[in-house]
Amino acid sequence: MVLPKSKNAVGLGNSLMNDRFGKNKNSNMHRAGAQQGAIVRRDMEGNDYVTPGKKEAEWVKMRSVTEQGALDEFLSTAELAGTDFTAEKMNNVKIIHTDQKNPYLLSAAEERGVVRKQNAKRARLTVPRRPRWDANTSAQELDARERQSLLDWRRGLAELQEVDDMLLTPFERNLEVWRQLWRVIERSDLVVQIVDARNPLMFRCDDLEKYVKEVDKRKRNLLLVNKADMMTLEQRRAWAEYFVGEGINFRFFSAELAKELNEARENAFDGLEVEGQDDEDEDDEDEDDDDVEREVGALDASDIDEEVGSEGDAIAQQVKKVDLQEEEEDDEQWVDEETVGAEAELEGVSLPVAEQTRILTTDDLEELFLQHSPTVPSDSENPDAPRRKTQIGLVGYPNVGKSSTINALLGAKKVSVSATPGKTKHFQTIHLSEKVILCDCPGLVFPNFATTKAELVCNGVLPIDQLREATGPSALVAQRLPQSFLEAVYGMRIETRPIEEGGTGIPTGEEVMRAYARARGFSTQGLGQPDESRAARTVLKDYVKGKLLYCHPPPADPPIDGRAFNRELYDISHLPQKRRAHLAATAEASVTGSEDPSLMDDPDIIPMPAPQGAKGRRLDTQFFAPGQGKSSIVQPFHHKYSQQGKELTGRKLKAMTALEKNIDPADAKAASKKHFKGPKTQRRKVRGNDNRPAGDYD
């Protein structure tokens, strides 16, 4: 990201010079050799060269490689080619640093020109193909072919960069990671590409869908737009329209919302058990019965059956690493007959609009998966053999929420979820039910045309903790979020350059980070200046998490204005009056560092608040999680959850109502007698110690 002072200061030649004579004590070559498990040797003239070494540990092999220094890139290309770098030099591999160009410096017209050019060349953004193989192909032969395939693919992309002068994002270069993808595609009936709703196209790989069909035309693709809780209904509509226009099979989902519903469901059911056992006391019997009726009124029969059955399922669901041998056997189970599925129903494109914009529940999703069940026996010779399980491949960039989606589907924490991109490293199979197996592919970064590296940071693709230069992504945040919203969220005032002095009316990244550093008491050592870099890391993490929310509009001609597209998200009038008042008061106090709001009017006073910005931190916590730290997403746009286009009933209604009222679903149970009185017709009675509701619940 740091721009080089001169183009001579970057590149392979420079890397080699540094390596040979430079400050770098740990030679790049030795480092590269060590990283790749290669052996560094010295020839007769005293020159170092690298040969592939013995097998590396699994975790080393599976490390995601999206960016390489010039020398590392050169060496790994040589290694893939199974040759040394003297020969490789002739292959004219030139390294382009993606951070040399910042499209945000382009004018709107120039940017449109770049997009046009990108669209014309989009077909060349491919994923590497697994070479053909059959039972006679030896392991070594296959390995060599796979390396060659990756090498050809990388050359194609290098050509796109050099000859066509296109700027590409960092992309996955590790053959081991692509091998995982190949295996997942080969075994899946449905390949679900999970993308982040805030910028779906950034995370979508068009060519992956083509590749899935190439492997077997009976396989199906689905674009699962996760984190849809972050979108307004209008935004979902706009995107749905775009996907339909493009013929993309898509559905909206929210792993976070699904998780909250799962929790609400568990709480409701726990309450049911406890209260069901309560009414031994004759005096309280009527009252207890009434409570239980209300609780049950929030559930329907299918929900309850599901609850009772889920414990057994949860035990049966296993998360296991698959050894390659086992996968090979499974692969052979693919039988050569039609996978039956009601085609029209499977396509998001042919659904009614209300259904297209609906955020699916986990039940809906599982149902969708089951539509891809093979209807042929697992043993084609034996018609009585049991049906093969439906295999669902989950593919996507790091951090789009694959693990969260799986957790939500399982309804229990089986896969560790983290806010750090790139956690899942080896694909896992998860037995979701007796009929469905999920294959979770490691998060991988597909090649895409770059806007900037800053964009990748904001999209959560590149980890913030390893960020050396933060002004680019900071500038994006400052451009995208309204100043007033940033000020309200963080309880700070952003000092901007006046328009008459050349300001634009929109704060710069530095201005935002300076204000945040001051409000939180982040200062540099020595002179004690506001620590903008530390501020940027915190603010950028909030952006990636969605606390500072911005959703990209779909492509359109003329383009949709991003700020207008997101306006509704920043309307804090959706917050309850009490919280708005509290927010305003705390914001004021936080900015002034005292309780005296009159200081707000003095432009010269931007004092640092209490030590380490305790007040500011408290404000963040109160603003985002008033439910005492429980996980609920309580944000201005939260009320949108209810705009599903479908009337909710039962416990989902209860959870939604809790969320809409900014009450943690966990707390809702305690308050359920007052808040969630279900309609009379839905109430059902549970008696005595019987945890299961008796009778027929329609």
Ligand X SMILES: Nc1nc2c(ncn2[C@@H]2O[C@H](COP(=O)(O)OP(=O)(O)OP(=O)(O)O)[C@@H](O)[C@H]2O)c(=O)[nH]1
User: Where along the sequence are the contacts to ligand X (CB under 6 A)?
Assistant: 226-227, 229-230, 254-256, 396, 398-404, 417-419, 421-424, 443, 546, 633
* Complex with ligand X: residue 259 or 389, whichever CB lies closer: 259
CA distances from 447 to 191, 250, 294 (A): 18, 21, 53
* Complex with ligand X: residue 77 or 226, whichever CB lies closer: 226
Residue 401 Cβ, how far from ligand X at the closest point, in Å? 3
φ/ψ of residue 144, rounded to 5: -65, -40
* Complex with ligand X: residue 401 or 613, whichever CB lies closer: 401
Residue 224 Cβ, how far from ligand X at the closest point, in Å? 10
* Complex with ligand X: residue 219 or 638, whichever CB lies closer: 638
Pairwise CA distance, residues 307 & 646, whole Å: 23
Residue 359 Cβ, how far from ligand X at the closest point, in Å? 9
Task: Answer yes or no: are the C-beta atoms of 650 and 298 closer than 8 Å.
Answer: yes
Task: Answer yes or no: are the C-beta atoms of 371 and 347 closer than 8 Å.
Answer: no
Residue 534: count other Cβ atoms within 10 Å of its Cβ: 17
φ/ψ of residue 431, rounded to 5: -85, 100
Residue 11 Cβ, how far from ligand X at the closest point, in Å? 31
* Complex with ligand X: residue 75 or 258, whichever CB lies closer: 258
Phi-psi region of 521 (alpha: psi -120 to 50; beta: other; left: phi over 0): left
SS (H, E, C) 232-262: CHHHHHHHHHHHHHHCCCEEEECHHHHHHHH
Residue 420 Cβ, how far from ligand X at the closest point, in Å? 7
CB within 8 A of 453, min separation 6: which ones? 1, 98, 99, 169, 170, 462, 472
Q: Retrieve residue 353's tokens.
A: 């609009």
Parallel, antiparallel or unpaired: strands 190-196 and 390-396: parallel
* Complex with ligand X: residue 254 or 373, whichever CB lies closer: 254
* Complex with ligand X: residue 376 or 540, whichever CB lies closer: 540
Pairwise CA distance, residues 274 & 96, whole Å: 64
* Complex with ligand X: residue 398 or 507, whichever CB lies closer: 398
Closest CA to 429 of 398, 447, 406: 406
Residue 209 Cβ, how far from ligand X at the closest point, in Å? 19
* Complex with ligand X: residue 401 or 693, whichever CB lies closer: 401
According to DSSP H, which parts of 628-694 are helical?
Answer: 650-660, 665-670, 672-675
Residue 437 Cβ, how far from ligand X at the closest point, in Å? 17
* Complex with ligand X: residue 98 or 403, whichever CB lies closer: 403
Residue 423 Cβ, how far from ligand X at the closest point, in Å? 4
Residue 251 Cβ, how far from ligand X at the closest point, in Å? 13
The gap from C-alpha 305 to its chain's centroid, in whole angstroms, comes to 32
Pairwise CA distance, residues 473 & 355, whole Å: 35
Residue 275 Cβ, how far from ligand X at the closest point, in Å? 32
Residue 635 Cβ, how far from ligand X at the closest point, in Å? 9
Closest CA to 85 of 69, 95, 71: 71
Pairwise CA distance, residues 99 & 450, whole Å: 10
Residue holding tokens 């080896």?
Answer: 426
Closest CA to 14 of 83, 98, 86, 97: 97
Residue 109 Cβ, how far from ligand X at the closest point, in Å? 35
* Complex with ligand X: residue 239 or 676, whichever CB lies closer: 239
* Complex with ligand X: residue 202 or 587, whichever CB lies closer: 202
Task: Answer yes or no: are the C-beta atoms of 593 and 630 closer than 8 Å.
Answer: no
Closest CA to 175 of 155, 146, 152, 153: 146
